[in-house]
Structure 1
C-alpha cells in the first residue's frame, strides 16, 4: 500500500472525480475495534476518487466467500463532509457469515467490490428544525453518519440522541458521542442499558425504551423529526409507542434491510422439457453472449438466473441498487424503492430485480 508521502497520493478535491462503483473498487485503509464484536472498516478508492453520498446512506459489499460472492448491505458510519474515505461499522451476530468473514479476513491493503451508495434514510431527505435519533446496537451507524455531518456542517443543530445497548461497554461510539456532546450546544445524549456490567460502572438509565423512559431523555419528542434504526422488534416497539402517544407518524422514519426473498433459481429453460409460452419475451445478455426467454411476470434478474447469467443482487426489492445494469434496447416496467437515480435511468440503466420486460430486451450483462 502506498505511503501517505508517496508522490501523487494527495490531490485536491477539485482535481478528483466522484467514485464510480462500476469502475473502481475499495481498498481497506483501516480496521478499528469499537466495542465487543464490533469493528469499523475504513476504505478509500483504488483510483483516487472522492465519495459523494448523503449521511445515512448505505453500500453493498461483494464479499469473496465460496464459489459465488456474498452480497451484504451495510450503512455508512462515515460522513460525506470528509469525502476522501468511507467507513462501515459492523457487528458480528451469532451465525453471521459475511460479517464474520470480514472480521477474520478483511485486512489493510485488501480490495473488494462495492455498490452504491443508496437509500433515502437521511436528514437531507427530511430536513427539520429539531431531530430525535433513536437507535439500538449497530443501528447507531446511520445516526453517527448524520451526527458527524451535522457536527462538521451545522453544529448548532438541535438533536436529541437516544441510544440503547445491553451493557455499558456495548455502547458503540460512546467516547466520541460524549465528546460531541461537549462540542455541539444543541446535542443532548441519552443512553439506556438493559443490565449493569462488572466491567464498567453505570449511573444512567436502565431498562428498555418505553413511554416512561423516552420522555425522560427527550421531553419534547413530539416536536421532533424522528429517525429510528435497530433490530425489527426494537423499531416496532418504538413505532407503537410513538403512535400511542399521539405522535405525528409522518415525522417518523426508519432504516431496515429486508432479507432477500427465498426464491428457487429456475434452471435454464433450454434444459427443461417444457414448451416456452408464446408470450415469453426474448432477453439478450450481450456481455455473456447468452439469449434467454422471460416468462410472463418474471423480472430481468429472474430471467438472467434462469439463463445462467450472474447479475449481483442483494436486497432484491429495488432498494440497494446492486443489480443495476444497462439496458441497450427495449422497454421495461420498473418499480423500485430508491435504488437508482433519475439520471441513471435517463442513461439507460435499470434495476434487474424489479424490472419486467415490455418488449424484447438487450442487456449489458
Structure 2
C-alpha cells in the first residue's frame, strides 16, 4: 500500500490519553490526500520493532481546515497508539496512506442528523457535523456524546461550538460524573435513546452516524431499527469490529447494474483488474480466492490492512463482472452500498472469469 511521508506540524494534548496530530499536506499531494468528512488514513511505522499499520479517522474538515488532522487515543497494549500519543512530537515524520472509507455519503435534501459518539469515536463525527453546518443548508443535528468522566471529553471545544448553531442540539452524557456535573448522566444506550425518542421527531429524513465501541453501536443500531429507521440510513465506523461470520454462513450475489455477464454459484478462477490511483494492476485468482489475496500475491500496490473485512481499507467499486460476498460485509457496508456495486475486496470472490474493481471510484 502506497504511503507518503508527512511532517507533524502541530501536536495538541486533548486529554491525558488522547492527542491530535496535525499535518500540512504539500501542494503536490493535495489531490492524493483529498478526502470526504469521516474518512480515515492508515499510519505505518515500526514503533515496536516491526512494521505496523493502523487506521485513524480524520477529525479535520475538508475544504475548511487547512491541515489534515487525526485524533488518537492510547489503547492498552496498542503499540501504534501508544507511540503516537506518548512519543511523537512536532516535526516528526510519519508514513501516511491516502484517505479511505465511506462513512459519510452526501445527500441533496435537508436531513436530521442523529450523531451518536462514544469516547474517541467523536473524531470522525465532529468532522461530519462541522461539514454539514459549513454547507449552509437547512439540516438539523442532534449530537449525543458519551464519556466516562468530564476530563475525558475529547475535542470538547469543537463539540460545544456546534451547539451555538440554532439547529443543533449537543448533549454530553457521563457514566462517572463528578459531583458538580450538570449534564446528562448514564450512557448513550437504548434506555437513554428511548427517553429522547419523541423529541427527535422531525419532518426531515433521519440520517444516523455511529462511532465508538462495537457493543455501543450494536445496541444503538438494534434500537433504531426496531423504531423503523431504515438500515441504509444508519452508518457506522468501528474501531474494534470482529467479523462474526464465516465462509460457511452463506453469501450474497452481486451483479453490477446493466452488466449482462452470466455468473455462476461455483468457484471460478478469474482475471481481476484493479484500478488504483489511475493505474491498473492485474492478477489471476485461484478458484474461490478473495480478490484482495490474489492482488497482493501478484505484488499489486493496493490499499489494504486487516484483510478480514473490518477496517474497510480495501473498499472498491465493482465495475465489471460478478462476485460472491461474505455476509459479514454488512457489518461495515449497507445494502444500498452493495446495490451501487461498492464492496470489500477482501470479502469478495469472483463468479465470472473476469472482474474489474476500482479503488478510486467509491462515491
TM bucket by the smaller chain? Answer: 0.5 to 0.7
The alignment's TM-score, normalised by the length of structure 2, stands at 0.68
- After superposition, residues 316-355 of structure 1 pair within 5 angstroms as 316=307, 317=309, 320-321=312-313
- After superposition, residues 206-217 of structure 1 pair within 5 angstroms as 206-214=185-193, 216-217=195-196
User: 1:334-364, CA deviations, whole angstroms, 9 ceiling, x for partnerless residues?
Assistant: 97988xxxxxxxxxxx9688576958xxxxx
| 1:107 pairs with one of 70, 86, 89 | 89
CA contact (8 A) 2:144 2:188 kept: no
Aligned in 2, Cα 1:107/1:204: closer, same or farther, shift over 3 Å?
same
1:42 is matched with 22
1:247 equivalent to 2:224? Answer no
CA contact (8 A) 1:318 1:351 kept: no
Could you tell me how far apart the structure 2 residues matched to 1:46 and 1:243 are? 44
Aligned in 2, Cα 1:163/1:320: closer, same or farther, shift over 3 Å?
same
1:132 equivalent to 2:131? Answer no
Match of 1:25, SS state, is: strand
User: 1:256-286, CA deviations, whole angstroms, 9 ceiling, x for partnerless residues?
Assistant: 254699xxxxxxxxxxxxxxxxx98999xxx
Could you tell me how far apart the structure 2 residues matched to 1:213 and 1:296 are? 49
Of stretches 168-177 and 218-227 in structure 1, the one that deviates more from structure 2 is 218-227
1:4 is matched with none
Superposition deviation, residue 82 in structure 1: 2.5
1:84 is matched with 66
Aligned in 2, Cα 1:293/1:228: closer, same or farther, shift over 3 Å?
closer
Looking at CA atoms only, which structure, 1 or 2, has the larger radius of gyration? 1
Match of 2:44, SS state, is: strand
1:297 equivalent to 2:288? Answer yes
| 2:101 pairs with one of 119, 138, 155 | 119
Superposition deviation, residue 149 in structure 1: 1.5
Superposition deviation, residue 139 in structure 1: 0.9
**Superposition CA RMSD, Å:** 4.2
Match of 1:29, SS state, is: strand
Structure 2 residue runs without a partner (length 5+):
245-267, 273-282, 334-343, 355-363
| 2:11 pairs with one of 13, 23, 31 | 31
Structure 1 residue runs without a partner (length 5+):
1-20, 262-278, 284-291, 325-330, 339-349, 360-365
The alignment's TM-score, normalised by the length of structure 1, stands at 0.67
Aligned in 2, Cα 1:280/1:152: closer, same or farther, shift over 3 Å?
closer
| 1:180 pairs with one of 136, 151, 162 | 162
Could you tell me how far apart the structure 2 residues matched to 1:42 and 1:192 are? 28
CA contact (8 A) 1:313 1:353 kept: no
1:193 is matched with 174
1:313 equivalent to 2:304? Answer yes
1:97 equivalent to 2:76? Answer no
CA contact (8 A) 1:71 1:312 kept: no
CA contact (8 A) 1:78 1:148 kept: no
1:141 is matched with 123
User: 1:116-135, CA deviations, whole angstroms, 9 ceiling, x for partnerless residues?
Assistant: 31211115269642111011
Could you tell me how far apart the structure 1 residues matched to 2:22 and 2:195 are? 36
Aligned in 2, Cα 1:151/1:250: closer, same or farther, shift over 3 Å?
closer
* Count of aligned residue pairs for this structure pair: 303
1:266 is matched with none
Aligned in 2, Cα 1:312/1:189: closer, same or farther, shift over 3 Å?
closer
2:141 is matched with 159
Aligned in 2, Cα 1:311/1:23: closer, same or farther, shift over 3 Å?
closer
Aligned in 2, Cα 1:103/1:212: closer, same or farther, shift over 3 Å?
closer
Superposition deviation, residue 61 in structure 1: 1.3
Superposition deviation, residue 29 in structure 1: 0.7
Aligned in 2, Cα 1:124/1:334: closer, same or farther, shift over 3 Å?
same
